[in-house]
Amino acid sequence: MKFEGKITVITGAARGIGRETALLFAKHGSKVIACDVLDDDLQTLENDSREMTAGSIKGVHLDVTNRKEIDKVIGEIKEEFSKIDILINNAGITRDAFLMKMTEEQWDQVINVNLKGIFNMTQACSRLMKNDGGVVLSTSSVVGVYGNIGQTNYAATKSGVIGMTYTWAKELARYKIRVNAVAPGFIKTPMTENLPQKVLDYMTEKTPLKMIGDPIDIANAFLFLASDNARYITGQVLGVDGGLVI
């Protein structure tokens, strides 16, 4: 799969799944605009990509809840490249709490980043894609399919991502924009690294393949869905979960 000349925008790109995805797309020739609010980690990502001979990675500070920042970044991309070929909506946070204890702030923070942030980015980028077509991919979760105790806010956003994916696939097809989502299972990321060992053991045992996934597993799914090999795939949610949802 070759991505030479392709402009890929990735949010939540500084760590975990986003970082692996940025490195993989650059390895395959894409010019990657890696967006995040974690400036130090973005700088590390840029440094780690400097030896690449195919594509490139440019780190850009971007808060997906801030429309002014989004308009500025998209405007700069338009001025430099005149297009965006691929958008990968990966920015996401958790603020876990049981329903009766969840604060309004915890609810709003997760909704704003995980749901409104994806809306903001897709709206802005699709306007630039509509003349030449493109691909929009978003990170959902198995939690958006079957729920999870203590994650009312997170589950709501990941279910919402699925609904938006189906809707946008229908709306944007006329512009040759494909829209799909990936629903990861239990993946080794900074978001999960602080969980107690008993929780890790439980999730491993619950997964039919009896293993926890790596960020590269999700990055590979994004790479396929963004490629011409998936040119006839739109409006789909690909579970990459070791069989967790069967």
Which of 38, 37, 155, 140 is closest to 94 using CA atoms? 155
Alpha helices in 49-141 (DSSP H): 67-81, 104-110, 117-129
* 236 contact partners, CB below 8 Å, separation of at least 6: 165, 169, 180, 181
Residue 86: C-alpha distances to residues 135, 166, 172, 213, 235 (Å): 5, 17, 14, 24, 15
Contact 151, 95 (CB under 8 A): no
Q: Does the annotation count 175 as an active-site position?
A: no
Return the exposure string of 92-105: e unless at least 16 CB atoms fall within 10 Å of the residue's CB, then b.
bebbeeeeeebeee
Whole-angstrom Cα distance, residue 197 to residue 199? 5
Of 146, 154, 202, 232, catalytic: 154
CA torsion through residues 45, 108, 166, 126, sign = negative
DSSP lists the bridge partners of residue 177 as 134
Contact 127, 170 (CB under 8 A): no
Point out the residues that are catalytic.
154
